[in-house]
Amino acid sequence: MTVLEDLIQALSRLPGVGRKSASRMAYHLLQTDQEYNTRLARLIHGIQQRVQRCSRCRSFTEEGRDPCDICSSPNRDRRSLCVVEHPQDVLTLEATGAFHGLFHVLDGVISPLDGIGPEELNLPALLQRIREEQIGEIIIATNPTEEGDTTALYISHLVKKEGIRVTRLASGIPVGGDLEYADRITIARSLRGRTLLESLE
């Protein structure tokens, strides 16, 4: 295997990058200026040290900024907590500008087929936050998939005992879809039209 082939292989492991794109990228890198390559390599090399998880919401935050900017902001509505599957969902919801509360990242969804049960998710921390923080409403923004719905119901049962209002994003997002690909207006509408989860049962 050649060095170039190694690079193509490595690039094609990135999500959404097929072999053809990987090969195009590799040839581009080969012919671009060295400065760009050095900068890119340095950014990739340091990303896991420089961007870490927030100890409160588990979203990503820059090194030395823990809790993250959202968790430590005095301008957020601390009574509403939006529960999402992945850290990138925080970015998606933030981009809508429609939500001003706090976030909690589950790091996945319940998926028996993939061997992921509730114990694999970031749920103990959620319960702890509900008990320690002044949260009045949990908005569950898991994706509208079977796993997302199962997880939403599970959480609703879990937190009901704590006497907290639990809502789910309205179904403006296509069933089986992904929050990441929904447009801003749709997400904003889903937030406004969120439904009390009890009514789904």
Question: How many residues of this chain interact with Zn ion, rule: CB under 5 A?
Answer: 6
Minimum distance of Zn ion from residue 13's CB (angstroms): 29
Q: In the chain, what is the straight-line distance between the N-terminal and C-terminal CA atoms, in Å?
A: 56
CA separation for the pair 4, 44 (Å, rounded): 18
Residue 102 touching Zn ion (CB under 5 A): no
> Which residue stretch of 57-65, 105-113, 124-132, 162-170 sits at the interface with Zn ion (rule: CB under 5 A)?
57-65
Q: Quick check: 83 and 110 in contact, CB under 8 A?
A: no
Nearest partner of 159 among 134, 131, 118, 180, judged by Cα: 131
Q: Which C-beta is closer to Zn ion: that of 54 or that of 173?
A: 54
Q: Which C-beta is closer to Zn ion: that of 6 or that of 63?
A: 63
Query: Which amino acid does the sequence have at 104?
Result: H
Residue 71 touching Zn ion (CB under 5 A): yes
State CA 149 to chain mean position distance. Answer: 16
Q: Which C-beta is closer to Zn ion: that of 54 or that of 188?
A: 54
Minimum distance of Zn ion from residue 7's CB (angstroms): 35
DSSP assignment of 104-172: EE-SS--BGGGTB-GGGSSHHHHHHHHHHS---EEEE---SSHHHHHHHHHHHHHHHTTT-EEEE--TT
State CA 109 to chain mean position distance. Answer: 11
Residue 168 touching Zn ion (CB under 5 A): no
> Which residue stretch of 46-54, 76-84, 145-153, 163-171 sits at the interface with Zn ion (rule: CB under 5 A)?
46-54
Q: Which of 8, 68, 110, 130 binds Zn ion (CB under 5 A)?
A: 68
Minimum distance of Zn ion from residue 149's CB (angstroms): 26
Minimum distance of Zn ion from residue 54's CB (angstroms): 3
State CA 126 to chain mean position distance. Answer: 15
Minimum distance of Zn ion from residue 105's CB (angstroms): 8
Give the binding site for Zn ion (CB under 5 A). Answer: 54, 56-57, 67-68, 71
